[in-house]
Structure 1
């Protein structure tokens, strides 16, 4: 994918894990949805297909929490682990082909997702956040990055990034892979700052000058913050795919509140008017949310 289609807003898919849970899948371990790349790949393809059928232009792969160390810790060989990560792109591509077209974005989840301690929402990586944090994080991401960069995906989706250092690390890896394009999407604390407190405008300024950065924005963030966050992105298209609007209680491990799909779709129209060029949903968003986005944008 060389560039965003001129004058067109792309609709992203919704919460892949949410859809898998709707099918009865148990995602309660460190691998999250990536476990199903081995245990039940057909259900991942089915979830992708449902989002395409709902009107999505883009499928984000099930590689968010996948990594060679995570798989080898479960007893897989390195070759098997690499094949499972590549499978995430194959499954999305199969669903795309069944749908008659679309875009496959290979998910690059943050270091905090592998820690499974919630730090993708704080950017607090402990010793990794020291003076050489960007170098440490680049080394940690490098194998999966290159694997997905060579997988045949149309682009890489660097998502739920909580820290400026991690954005720098991923931008350095983009420099290592000529011809690859990516979007950079941050988890945000409010309408101005990413999770580690860095202004989103500063992150956008870092990334906007790179010709192969397709978009910058926010995901896994409350919808109410999205209009202000879009306003912080300058010099590059904005990508936004917030949570449904429900609230996660980490103690009770339950969601509360209400995320109405039609309200979400109507809000997407406002995000489009504010300048967003890629719009979808993250946690707790379903094919119905995507269907309503498509209807409101059309």
Structure 2
């Protein structure tokens, strides 16, 4: 498994990927998931993949070398849309060649791709390509894409990133998103590849490979956890069984009549158990009534 995130902003693009791949708890490897297609002054494109490693490597090799019958390739495509369409065609080609054989061994054709960049004469663009070769494009309403183990790192991006976010802020957010994923899922791991592209530069602006010794990422890992704990402790505890207008932060008010769904007590347990349960419920109610 892996985790990759790509962001499209007014200022440019941010790409971040991990490098862990595994086929079991004792078969863990490191393979870089980010590939750059760069012809300085003409185009800069980034490809990140998640899923079956053999499939994604075949797609990457095919798209980097393939030339269509009309002489077009990813290196000569007039627009990013055309390049994304060629990438989709490459996915379908690999599927046609390998999917049936993989299925015979119980292996799904599993691949997902983030593809983005800029070609001279047009704006920065970002796409997500699926296993069927179809794709969608990022717009202002959905300014980022994630593939792989996306759920852990999604909340911070949803709260922070929008088209006007600066590149450095977006890079910081992407790293926090990755840290959240690393802490919650062992199938994602260091080192990381971070690429920041400034619009209209038509070449890689900033790139770094991040390992466990990277000072900035270590600062994020320590500071983010501490700040989260501080914010958490600063949020008031809930108030139970209080009048809503008497205090704030009321979770359960005196005029609420909420009851849990209780399973009927089996008859063979007898009335004594039922009486004991009733007495415990009464004690609990008395306790709640004493709360502020």
- Normalised TM-score (structure 1): 0.30
TM-score by length of 2: 0.30
More helix by share: 1
